[in-house]
A = this chain, B = another copy of it.
Amino acid sequence: MPAEAPVTVFAGPLRDFCREVFVHLGVPEEDAAITADVLVAADLRGIDSHGVARLKRYVDGIRDGVMRTRPNTRVVVETPATITLDADGGLGQPVSARAMRKAMEKARTVGAGFASVRNSNHYGIAGYYAMMALEEDMIGVSTTNSDALVVPTFSRNALLGTNPIAVAVPAGRSPAFVLDMATSTVPRGKLEVYDRLGKPMPHGWATDETGASTTDATRVLKNLTMRANGGLLPLGGEGELLSGHKGYGLALLVDILSGVLSGSAYANLTYPKGPDGAPLPANIGHFFGAFRIDAFRPPDEFRRDMDDLLDRLRNADKAAGATRIYIHGEKEFETAARREVEGIPLHPRVAASLREIGGSCGVQPPF
């Protein structure tokens, strides 16, 4: 096959492929289905960096023992509105979907519910779990901590993750509001694009090893890989002039809610290794929440006002040169609708990686 041929694949067969790979690796059928669904949901929504392009990391994680296929998940603490789960080093997706269901169950009973997860692994796109709440007319919340890539304001050490915050809110005739944002100005993937193009990136995205904002993406990526100093900047950029301390505060808040409140690792989360040098589970933490709309006001009134609010924003006067005002999640809903029909375009390198994984697991890729 030509190395640069674009590959288009439909969501269903891609999901089946991922599920079969996980099952081959020893993941129970239901957990495999959830993990596959979370990955392909990212591709459908156009968040390609978090989709099947990452399948290899999960396959490697399972093979290295970093991600356990049959963890013994247990309840640490439980109250009517809250629960903390220990994921026992399992895959992040299945325990996260279950934790979110628990939060929703509690919201059904007492009005609002929260689930905290310790000792987990990467859970994919934060928005997936927040959006689960939409099925039951609830507001959903999801946060996770992640690899240390982001420098706190005035520091040169990458101590915080890109620590995303996702909140999904149902509307009436309008698509839901789905905020799913890293608390850094940009994700690492954006730097990789500038690195590949050899282009200077904008100031405010990342710092060099002295802690000063830089336009040299290649240098920042090299520093991050070598765990030298510097890293991504929090939302708001360098220092306090454009309020980088606010992005830093949001990243820290996510580390507290996901890492400290659950009893997971926090600040300077890296891939730990055992005494024999073998990698250990990442001990990532997550936080989930659900609010029942009718625990605050009648849902029909809420939906009417949501539609009106979102319409007012969409129909507002555009800034000079702008043609459209977006609601958060809108671009992703449109991409998903298109990709459901037209298929998901896979980068040739991603397709090649899936072929390799398929080969090693005896699972035929759907292309």
Question: Which stretch of A33-41, A61-69, A256-264 is in the interface?
Answer: A256-264
Chain A, residues 326-338, CB within 8 Å of chain B (1/0): the string is 1110000000000
Q: Is the CB of A110 within 8 A of B84?
A: no
Q: Is the CB of B256 within 8 A of A295?
A: no
Taking A159-B312, A242-B237 as contacts, is the C-beta distance between A111 and B79 under 8 angstroms? yes
Q: Give complex CA distance A76, B245 in Å.
A: 37
Contact with A256, one of B241, B301, B309 (Cβ below 8 angstroms): B309
With a cutoff of 8 Å between Cβ atoms, the chain B residues found around residue A292 in the complex are 79, 82
Chain A contact residues, CB within 8 Å of chain B? 76-77, 79-82, 84, 107, 109-114, 116, 139, 151-157, 159, 167, 169, 177, 179, 181, 185-186, 202, 204-205, 207, 210-212, 229, 235-237, 241-243, 245-247, 249-250, 252-253, 255-256, 259-263, 266-268, 291-297, 301-302, 305-306, 309, 312-313, 316-322, 324-328
Q: Is the CB of A253 within 8 A of B325?
A: no
Q: What are 10 sample pairs from A and B whose C-beta atoms fall under 8 A apart?
A: A80-B109, A81-B107, A81-B295, A112-B112, A114-B291, A155-B318, A185-B243, A235-B246, A260-B305, A267-B312
Taking A306-B256, A309-B260 as contacts, is the C-beta distance between A294 and B111 under 8 angstroms? no
Q: Is the CB of B179 within 8 A of A319?
A: no
